[in-house]
Structure 1
Amino acid sequence: MLRELSIRNLAVIEEVNVEFHNGFHVLTGETGAGKSILIDALSLVAGGRGSSDMVRYGSDKAEIEAMFDIKPEHPVWAVLERLGVQASGDEMLVVRRELTSQGKSSSRVNGHLVTMTMLREIGECLVNIHGQHEHQSLLKSEQHLEWLDLFAGDELLGIKSQYRQSYKAMLGARTARIELEESSRQHEQMLDLYRFQIEEITAASLKPGEDEWLAEEKSKLMHAGKRLDSISEAYNLIYGNKGIETLNKAIIRLTDIVSYDQAGLAPILEQLQSAYYQAEDAAFQLRDYREGIESDPEQLAMLDDRLNLIHGLKRKYGETIPDILQYLDKITLERDKIENREENLEKLLAEELKLTSRAEKLALKLSSLRISAAKRLSHAIEQELWQLQMGSTRFLVQMDSAAGDKPSQEGAAVSGLKLMPCGIDEAVFMLSTNPGEPLKPLSKVASGGEMSRIMLALKSIFASIDQIPVLVFDEVDTGVSGRAAQAIAEKMSQLSASCQVFSITHLPQVACMADHHYEIRKGVYNERTSTSVTELVMDTRIEELARMLGGVEVTEKTRHHAQEMLDLAYRQKGA
Structure 2
Amino acid sequence: MLSHLTLQDFAVVSRAELAFGPGMTVVSGETGAGKSLLVDALMWLTGARADAGIVRHGAERAELAAEFRLSDAPAALDWLRENELDDGDGCQLRRVIRADGGSRAWINGRPATLGQLSELGGLLVEIHGQHEHQALLDRGQQLALLDAFGQHAGLLAEVRELARRWAALDRELGELARAGDVGDRIAWLQHQVEELAAENLDAADLGELAAAHRRQANAAGLLQGCQAALARLAGDEGLSVQRLLHQTRGDLQRLAADEPRLAEVLGLLESAGIQLAEAAAGLERLHDDFDLDPERLRRLEERLARLHELARKHRVPLDALAARRDALQEELDGLSGAGERAAKLGRELDALARDWQAAASRLGQSRAAAAARLGQAVAALMSELGMGGGVFTVALEPLDTTRPAPQGAERCEFLVSANPGQPPRALRKVASGGELARISLAIEVAALGLDAVPTMVFDEVDTGIGGAVAEVVGQKLRALGAERQVLCVTHLPQVAAQGHHHYRVSKAVEADATHSQVEALDPKARVEELARMLGGVEITKEVRANARQMLSRAQES
Fold conserved between structures, TM > 0.5: yes
* Aligned pair partner of 2:191 in 190, 193, 196: 196
* Partner residue of 1:460 out of 421, 445, 454: 445
Alignment partner of 2:169 out of 173, 176, 181: 173
Residue type of the alignment partner of 2:300: L
What is aligned with 2:411?
426
Asked if structure 2 preserves the Cα contact closer than 8 Å seen for 1:79 and 1:122, the reply is no
**Matched ranges for 1:380-459 at <5 A:** 380-402=377-399, 419-435=404-420, 438-443=423-428, 447-459=432-444
Q: Is the 8 A contact 1:314 1:320 kept in 2?
A: yes
Equivalence for 2:475 = 490
Aligned mates of 1:382, 1:4 — CA distance in 2: 35
Identity %: 31
The offset of 1:540, in angstroms, is 5.9
Task: Give the secondary-structure state (helix, strand or coil) at the position aligned to 2:308.
Answer: helix
Distance in 2 (CA, whole Å) between partners of 1:147 and 1:266 is: 106
Between the aligned partners of 2:340 and 2:91, the Cα distance in structure 1 is 61
Q: Which amino acid aligns with 2:436?
A: M
Q: How far did residue 39 of structure 1 move?
A: 3.5
Q: Structure 1: which amino acid aligns with 2:183?
A: E
- In the alignment, which residue of structure 1 is the partner of 2:350? 353
Deviates more, 1:247-256 or 1:391-400: 247-256
Helix, strand or coil at the partner of 1:521: strand
Does residue 218 in structure 1 map to residue 213 in structure 2? yes
Quote how far apart the aligned CAs of 1:30 are. Answer: 4.5
Pair 1:502 & 2:502 matched:
no
Residue number among 304, 307, 313 corresponding to 1:307 in the alignment: 304
Partner of 2:157: 161
TM alignment of 1:20-39, pairs within 5 A: 20=20, 23-30=23-30, 33-39=33-39
The residue number in structure 2 matching 1:148 is 146
For the residue of structure 2 that corresponds to 1:345, the secondary structure is helix
Q: Does 1:130 align with 2:163?
A: no
Q: How does 1:279-294 map to 2 (within 5 A)?
A: 279-294=276-291
* Structure 1 residue matching 2:414: 3-state secondary structure: strand
Distance of aligned partners of 1:462 and 1:50 in 2 relative to their CA distance in 1, 3 Å threshold:
farther
Counterpart of 2:460?
475
* 1:517–1:535 Cα contact (<8 Å) kept: yes
Counterpart code for 2:29: G
Structure 2 length as normaliser, TM-score? 0.80
Which range moves more in the overlay, 16-25 or 488-497?
16-25
Kindly indicate whether residue 316 of structure 2 is the aligned counterpart of residue 316 of structure 1: no
Q: C-alpha distance in 1, partners of 2:525/2:33?
A: 17
Question: By how many angstroms is 1:562 displaced?
Answer: 7.7
Report what 2:244 is aligned to: 246
1:482-561 paired onto structure 2 within 5 Å: 485-525=470-510, 530-536=515-521, 554-555=537-538
Mapped partners of 1:482, 1:43: distance in 2: 30
Rounded to whole Å, the distance in 2 between the matches of 1:445 and 1:528 is 39
Residues in 1 aligned to 2:174 and 2:76: alpha-carbon distance in whole angstroms: 46
Secondary structure in 1 aligned to 2:406? coil
RMSD: 4.3
In 2, Cα distance between the equivalents of 1:344 and 1:18?
62
The runs of 5 or more residues in structure 1 that have no matched partner are 88-92, 406-417
Mapped to 1, the partners of 2:422 and 2:103 lie a distance apart of: 53
Mapped contact 2:27–2:489 kept (Cα < 8 A): yes
Q: Report the Cα distance in structure 2 between the residues aligned to 1:299 and 1:35, rounded to whole angstroms.
A: 98
Matched ranges for 1:263-274 at <5 A:
268-274=265-271
| Structure 1 position 172, deviation (Å) | 2.1
Q: Is 1:232 equivalent to 2:227 in the alignment?
A: yes
Seen in structure 2, the aligned counterparts of structure 1 residues 565 and 344 have a Cα distance that, compared at 3 Å, is same
Secondary structure of the 2:231 match is helix
Question: What SS does the aligned partner of 1:35 have?
Answer: coil
CA deviation map 1:249-300 (0-9, x unaligned):
44445556668887x6665444433322122111121122123323334333
> 1:371-406: per-residue Cα shift (whole Å, max 9, x none)?
23223222322232232123322322223445766x
Contact 2:73 2:452 in 1 (8 A): yes
- Cα deviation for residue 367 of structure 1 reads 2.0
| Letter in structure 2 aligned against 1:149 | D
Q: 1:376 matched to which residue of 2? A: 373
Please identify, of 121-130 and 419-428, the stretch whose mean Cα deviation from structure 2 is larger.
Answer: 121-130
Amino acid at match of 2:241: G
Task: Provide the C-alpha distance between the structure 2 equivalents of 1:399 and 1:429, rounded to a whole number of angstroms.
Answer: 9
Task: Tell me, yes or no, if the aligned pair for 1:523 and 1:530 is still in contact at 8 Å.
Answer: yes
Counterparts of 1:165 and 1:293, CA distance in 2: 72
Code of the residue aligned with 2:504 in structure 1: it is: E
Long gaps (5+) in structure 2: none
Contact preservation (8 Å) 2:387, 2:418:
yes
Instruction: Call closer, same or farther: CA 1:357–1:205 in 2, change over 3 Å.
Output: farther
Instruction: Kindly indicate whether the alpha-carbon contact (under 8 Å) linking 2:507 and 2:517 is maintained by their aligned counterparts in 1.
Output: yes
Which one-letter code corresponds to 1:300 in the other structure?
L
Write the letter of the residue equivalent to 2:340: E
What's the secondary structure of 2:244's corresponding residue? helix
Structure 1 pair 336–396 and aligned structure 2 pair: CA distance change class (3 A): same
Aligned amino acid, residue 242 of structure 2: I
- Residue of structure 1 in register with 2:322 after alignment: 325
Conserved? CA contact 2:9–2:59, under 8 Å = no
2:325 partner letter: L
Q: 1:174 is aligned with what amino acid?
A: D
Rate the CA distance shift 1:45–1:177 in 2: closer, same or farther, 3 A.
closer
Letter in 2 for 1:386: S
